[in-house]
Amino acid sequence: MTTIDFPSFSSGPRAAVRTSPAPVASVRSGDSGAPSVRADPRPSVVARLASLLGTLLMIVAVIAVLFFAIGPRFLGYQTATMLTGSMAPGIMPGDVVVTTLQPVGGIEVGDVISYHIPVEDHRVETHRVTEVVRGADGTTAVRTQGDANDAVDPWLATLEGENVYQAAAVIPEVGNVIRALRTPAVSHVLVYGVPAVLVGALLLMIWSRREEDDDDDASEPAPGSATPAGSVGGSGHVPGSSPRTDQPVLDRGILDNLGVELSSHAGALLFAGTFVEMLPQRIGAVEAALTARDADAAVVALLSLTVSASMVGARRLEEESSAALELIGRPITHRALVARLRQHGADVSTALDAIRHQDVHPH
């Protein structure tokens, strides 16, 4: 028998490592009057490959989300993974079958359709039509058979409704990837391993930005000037405290830059929308780790939240989750911390809705 399961997809965030396109020499005069020259090195081959790979992965992820999650809702097709070999060699186990709605009255012998069988568990079957029976009352029933099966299926299935899903295309092997991603071992790697890699890339990006800021800063502090008390790295934010209210809830500039990288503003909004949809799960992982007093899991969950928030420009949520790393060992703060994370998440969702509305109804 052929059994079809309907997969679901989600896309994860990506961090890009910023590199300078060419060496930039800066000349600064010291106290002795002798100039000091510093040249930024060219991006390494590894950095270029990492950036290219990250971009390609992002594009593939966006295409997958568009095709498997968004397309079926708006374009009227369905995707399903073939689990058995009853339709071999045309449709092999692990292939994804793309089906489109066709009028029941147009079904003919030889068509491959997906329908609920009328017996047992009423599972979805994808087989070839061998006989079409038109009833006097206007009903249509079919007999089907798998291409690799020796016998016709032992039932006559009456097709409900005015339309039926008919196979339109087959995508080889993609279903095997989907099933592998849904196994517990791979899921753990995606949940814990990928965020760790992204954190490393994010740190490289931050360090690169700091070096560029130092190089581009033409003014030196006046002698005797002091850094304002309570500032850290010039941000004015003390680790462990609440985010500054002057930070945007959702930085439109970062979303616009993401749209440029993807060559699609809609793709950037889709990426941000996926981030918002996954926020309850991410914050729930933080809460579960804190409740269990599992410091390692809390660090991973908070770093994952920090990285993903930075990718979409959720600045306040990013600062809150980053500062929360110092509160892991203070259980008395955990309840308030989780509440703040949820509030920031709600604010991000509201801000994203406002951006979408503004794009649809520009002033």
Low-confidence ranges of the chain (pLDDT < 50): 1, 3-41, 218-241
CA torsion angle 313 317 323 324 (round to 10): -140
pLDDT score, position 151:
94
Q: Are the beta carbons of 14 and 311 closer than 8 angstroms? A: yes
pLDDT score, position 271:
84
- Reported as a single tens digit per residue, the pLDDT across 17-50 is 333 344 434 444 444 444 444 444 455 666 667 6
- Reported as a single tens digit per residue, the pLDDT across 71-112 is 787 888 888 888 889 999 999 988 999 999 999 989 999 999
Backbone φ and ψ of 179, nearest 5°:
-65, -35
Q: Are the beta carbons of 77 and 98 closer than 8 angstroms? A: yes
pLDDT score, position 211:
54
User: Tokens 């087959």 sit at which residue?
Assistant: 170
pTM: 0.42
In 3D, which of 219, 211, 220 has the Cα closest to residue 38?
Answer: 211
pLDDT score, position 168:
92
pLDDT score, position 17:
34
Name the DSSP letter for residue 36. Answer: E
CA distance 12 to 130: 43
The number of residues making up the chain comes to 363
